[in-house]
A and B are shown apart, each in its own frame.
Chain A
Amino acid sequence: MSNISTIFNNPQGYQPQLEVILKNIADGITVQNTQGKLVFANNTALKILDYPNLDSLLKAKPSEIIDKFEIFDEDGNKLNLNNLPGRKALQGKSESGVIVGFRNKKNRSEKWAEVKATPVFDQRGKIIFVINVFRDITQKRKSEESLLELGRIVEFSEDAIYGIDLKTKITNWNHGASQLFGYQKSEVIGRKINILMPQENLKETLMLLETIQKGKTVKKTESTRRKKDGTVFPVSVTISPIHNVKHQLIGFSFISRDITERKLLEARREEFVSIASHELKTPITTLKAFTQILKTRFKQIGDEETAYFLSKMDDEINKLTYLINGLLDVTKMRSGIIELNEDVYNFDDIVEETIEMLQKTSRKHRIVKKGFVKKYLRTDKNRLVQVITNLITNAIKYSPEATKIVIESSSSRSEVILSVKDFGMGIPKNKQDLLFERFVRIHSERKHIPGIGLGLYISAEIIKQLDGKMWFKSKLNKGSTFYFSLPLRRQSK
């Protein structure tokens, strides 16, 4: 059995073995004679130089081989060919660690190699050939470049991005952070995050870090931060864990965005909502009350016809109120200021009550109720009634030829489901995706169907706020069924 030392001790005797080793080594190896012509190349070198086999490479002139590539230095500039390590070695200079880039002119593929070129001398000190060793560092170079690029993206992001270690000391600080907080990088590195936030937020932040340590993620939370000049301002924050290569937690990254502007807008919108609801509803309140007084008086004197006119007027006032409430709800939802008034209710009772109330106003359609769930759940009764009312009135509105609406409730261990089925016009396939958007009216060509397209948007938002889901099935000219589910146990907010 031959081993490696016997091969090298007696190279002539083991020429074939030596060649096999050289050929299959992971680094590219070429040997040039004193004229610069290649006399040997291993498989990796063939691959780097893009030749199919040794013969074709050995036949090629050195200029031909070089000509196949655009050649760059480490910084990506065109390389003066006299600086090629092989050429230098031919003049007796040993070169190592030279980074050279080759771009194949034909297929534009780019390779990067770390090159070592060594002249081999005979006993009299004359160069007999040069050995070039190429290490392919294309992958490494690419990942370094992309890391550098990522670094630049992070550095110049508008968001403040900074890292801390497990002792909450700041370890990294981007340009955005300097802009936002007013501290230069050198002022904060090594200091605790305490300097960036008011005392009351520190506890909350430390608790967040603890939950992240337990493996949970913190996406976007709102908090407040303090600038160098003492100004306290609102931010939205994303915190992520930082792991080392061994997957050990070594720190956390913070991405903070200033939301002062947004908060101001929200406050203004909130103010608008409350002023608008007051200003719009005050005259309607008086109008409605007087209408009802008049209706009662005309009834008392037996003028049924005038009393009827006034109840029509009252109905219209109710429609106007409904529209105003819809617009206000949407404004509130857009700014996330809808407030739930929650308590524990029997789900069946809420459904029954709503149906009873709506049946009174519907002459043509019979509202059929199927199923009982016998479950209690924590919810906002008024908002839930609003959703069920919206679904049933839609069902009636969009099935003018039908005479029946079917409401069915069911439950599982974890949720209750209500469905509202109509036998009407259904929803065309191409409009189904738009259904829960604002101001979308499915059969807008049918002008006699009233509405401004807010009802379903509002209902879906309410169900979302109640931690439930809403969906539907529909067939054109057969009818639609709308469903919502609500969890029996909700995380208290």
Chain B
Amino acid sequence: MLATLLEFLREKHRTTPMWMKVLIPVLGVGSLGVVAVMGAFLAFVVTAWLGQPIPVLGFDQSVEQPIAFPHTIHAGMGVYTDSTGDQVQGLGMDCTFCHRTVTSQANAGVPPVQFCAYCHQVIGGEESEPLTQVRTAAGIIGDSPHPIDWKRVHRMPDHVRFVHEPHIRYLTQHPDKVTNSTSGETMGAAGVCSTCHGDVASMEEVAQVEPLKMGQCVNCHRDNDAPTDCASCHH
């Protein structure tokens, strides 16, 4: 039986032309590759539709900022490695220290570079690359001050009018509704941000962790007796 099979294969090996011997494995591997790419594409589309897209095909949620600003050292409470390799204690600063308008306005606000300079004209060594960039932008080093082109991480579509202020107000008054908080702190504006933004204090490079799609908004609004009228957000 086995001998017959081997004989058959030998016969095939003799009679099959060379180009076909090359083509068959190429087609096999190639079609597997096509299936893999299509599968990755489908996975990306389906997950992007349902929530956060999984980072196949090179798309991920992190954004490279012009200056490597570490939220960990500023907002975190642990011990972190800074840009020069030193171990530094996290400051545990409140989110609202820099994002000042979050409790009163629609936008959380990113501080001007002069705001960074208040501390960093003194704090931090001269050999640190990000701090040199900050000081250059603030005009402490050289004489060409310029604003920093921070990249937006959490972007709402244009037809959504999101206002931070009432959300912070509600969650501050209802600490039991706060989720995602890993530090266990649920009081004050900084404690409630995690509900939508995740534990930013532990992120070296801030990424969007919640899908922040309309389904998530509506579910939360329903659970908290918030308005679900379309015109509350779309106008």
A and B physically associate: no
Chain B interface residues (CB < 8 Å from chain A): none
Interface residues of A (CB under 8 A from B): none
